[in-house]
């Protein structure tokens, strides 16, 4: 039996105080209020001064890139071969684990290194993490996306390219807009693909059991992706309230990656136009997140780790703080970072601490008011009922 001072269960419901949790064969068999009847002998693990919560998911990362702002180092990472990059990917995964992140969804890289790493190099015993990869993303020739993917071959439609793609990826990543301008607030780019082109991809994805994640900023690029029936919108800056309403109705997930703009604002020279526009972009995104909460849009936490100033692992704390600033309660943001992320990744048996679920969770010191900061010093991680701290050095 394990005692905990506080429990955040991942459903978004209120924090529970003083609970006892019993596990058997890797599953949670009961969660009750700690009673005076619990004897010291029954309590094998005492977390009465700690909070337990589900393991976290970062629903948008780029494992091949670090958050370095040094242009020479970034260029080197972008051009690196697999042998050079595999050590960096391992380092990033360890960083995620040290912040209690046990699953990540990769948004693509130029040479599909993250895919190869997942297939050939990941030792799941040493690094018990769920990695879902996009391989190389798809973008239209001549438009943004070369850093994380490739366009369809000449004379091939997007659907033909996706259909004949031999990469054994987990999901399909489509780039359907440009990046956010850091010079002109709210500048919109045109969609890269039309509704029909994207619908064809969604049909192929359905047949092969894959989901479609779409990078889209601005009203039109997002509207096109929603009409085509994609599974998630990544970034979604300046998408507007109408698109948010459609997402709430259709159950399409939003991964807002607001911390990218906070990181840009911190990276850019104070007083520069880029600094100002990044800050304005961030404020606007927080307003959109607030609206999304009001409308009941499913938000999954994703950081875009690997973007400038967005560091693997620690960025999750930044994004949690931003969602709280936008109006989410602590249990609600934990749901975005656990249950909602797990479902988006197709890992249905985790993300919630309740009877019958896998006994996989984190313990952090102190009461919930210490979160998200207390994630920087995880006290323990349990995987299927067993403390994983012995198998893996978290810090
Ligand atoms: Zn990304």
Structure tokens at 243: 């698109």
Residue 268 CA to ligand 1 centre (angstroms): 19
Residue 58 CA to ligand 1 centre (angstroms): 12
Residue 264 CA to ligand 1 centre (angstroms): 14
Residue 107 CA to ligand 1 centre (angstroms): 5
Residue 111 CA to ligand 1 centre (angstroms): 15
Residue 269 CA to ligand 1 centre (angstroms): 23
Residue 118 CA to ligand 1 centre (angstroms): 18
pTM value is 0.96
What is d(CA 284, CA 43) in angstroms, rounded to the nearest whole number?
Answer: 48
CA-based R_g, the chain, Å: 21
User: Is residue 33 classed as helix, strand or coil in its secondary structure?
Assistant: strand
Structure tokens at 75: 């260029």
| 18 touches 48 (CB < 8 A) | yes
DSSP 156-168: --HHHHHHT----
Residue 372 CA to ligand 1 centre (angstroms): 23
- Integer angstrom CA distances of residue 343 from 201, 252, 298, 391: 21, 12, 11, 27
DSSP run (H or E) holding 196: helix 195-207
Residue 66 CA to ligand 1 centre (angstroms): 12
Residue 292 CA to ligand 1 centre (angstroms): 20
- Displacement of CA 383 from its chain's centroid (Å): 20
Angle between helices 330-337 and 315-325 (to 10 degrees): 140
What is d(CA 208, CA 172) in angstroms, rounded to the nearest whole number?
Answer: 11
Nearest to residue 298, comparing CAs of 259, 338, 336? 336
Question: What is the predicted pLDDT for the residue at 73?
Answer: 96
DSSP 201-238: HHHHHHHTT-EEEEEE-SHHHHHHHHHHT-SEEEE-TT
Residue 177 CA to ligand 1 centre (angstroms): 12
Q: What are phi and psi of 373, to 5 degrees?
A: -55, -35
What is d(CA 395, CA 388) in angstroms, rounded to the nearest whole number?
Answer: 13
Check residue 354 and report its DSSP letter: S
Q: What is the mean pLDDT of each run of 10 residues along the chain (395 residues)?
A: 95 97 95 75 83 98 96 95 96 95 97 96 83 97 95 95 94 96 94 98 96 98 98 98 98 98 95 96 98 98 98 98 98 98 90 95 97 96 86 53
Residue 32 CA to ligand 1 centre (angstroms): 41
What is d(CA 346, CA 253) in angstroms, rounded to the nearest whole number?
Answer: 13
Residue 64 CA to ligand 1 centre (angstroms): 11
Question: What is the predicted pLDDT for the residue at 11?
Answer: 96
Question: What is the predicted pLDDT for the residue at 391?
Answer: 58
Residue 145 CA to ligand 1 centre (angstroms): 10
Question: What is the predicted pLDDT for the residue at 395?
Answer: 46
Q: In sequence order, what are the beta bridge partners of 359?
A: none
Q: Is the link from the previous residue into 263 a cis peptide, with omega within 30 of 0?
A: no
Residue 370 CA to ligand 1 centre (angstroms): 29
Question: What is the predicted pLDDT for the residue at 120?
Answer: 92
Residue 147 CA to ligand 1 centre (angstroms): 10
């Amino acid at each position: 039996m394990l005692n905990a001072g506080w429990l955040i269960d991942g459903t978004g419901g209120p924090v529970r105080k003083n609970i006892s949790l019993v596990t058997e064969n890797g599953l949670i068999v009961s969660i009750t209020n700690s009673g005076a009847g619990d004897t010291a002998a029954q309590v094998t693990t005492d977390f009465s001064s700690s909070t337990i919560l589900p393991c976290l998911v970062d629903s948008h990362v780029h494992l091949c890139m670090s958050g370095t702002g040094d242009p020479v180092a970034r260029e080197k990472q972008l051009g690196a071969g697999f042998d050079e990059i595999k050590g960096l990917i391992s380092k990033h995964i360890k960083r995620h684990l040290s912040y209690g992140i046990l699953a990540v969804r990769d948004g693509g890289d130029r040479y599909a290194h993250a895919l190869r790493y997942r297939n050939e190099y990941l030792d799941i015993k040493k690094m018990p993490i769920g990695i879902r990869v996009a391989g190389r993303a798809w973008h239209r020739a001549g438009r943004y996306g070369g850093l994380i993917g490739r366009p369809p071959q000449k004379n091939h439609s997007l659907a033909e390219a996706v259909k004949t793609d031999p990469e054994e990826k987990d999901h399909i990543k489509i780039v359907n807009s440009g990046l956010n301008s850091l010079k002109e607030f709210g500048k919109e780019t045109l969609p890269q693909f039309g509704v029909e082109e994207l619908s064809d991809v969604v049909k192929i994805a359905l047949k092969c059991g894959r989901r479609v994640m779409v990078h889209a900023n601005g009203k039109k690029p997002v509207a096109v992706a929603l009409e085509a029936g994609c599974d998630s919108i990544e970034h979604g800056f300046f998408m507007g309230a109408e698109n948010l309403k459609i997402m709430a109705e259709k159950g399409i997930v939003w991964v807002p990656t607001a911390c990218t703009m906070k990181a840009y604002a911190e990276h850019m020279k104070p007083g520069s136009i880029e600094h100002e526009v990044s800050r304005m972009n961030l404020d606007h995104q927080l307003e959109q997140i607030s609206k999304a909460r009001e409308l009941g849009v499913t938000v999954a936490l994703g950081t875009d780790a690997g973007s400038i100033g967005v560091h693997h692992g620690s960025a999750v704390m930044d994004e949690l703080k931003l969602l709280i600033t936008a109006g989410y309660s602590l249990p609600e943001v934990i749901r975005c970072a656990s249950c909602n992320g797990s479902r988006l990744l197709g890992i249905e048996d985790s993300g919630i601490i309740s009877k019958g679920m896998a006994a996989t969770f984190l313990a952090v010191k102190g009461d919930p008011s210490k979160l998200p900061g207390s994630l920087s010093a995880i006290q323990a991680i349990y995987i299927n009922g067993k403390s994983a701290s012995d198998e893996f050095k978290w810090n």
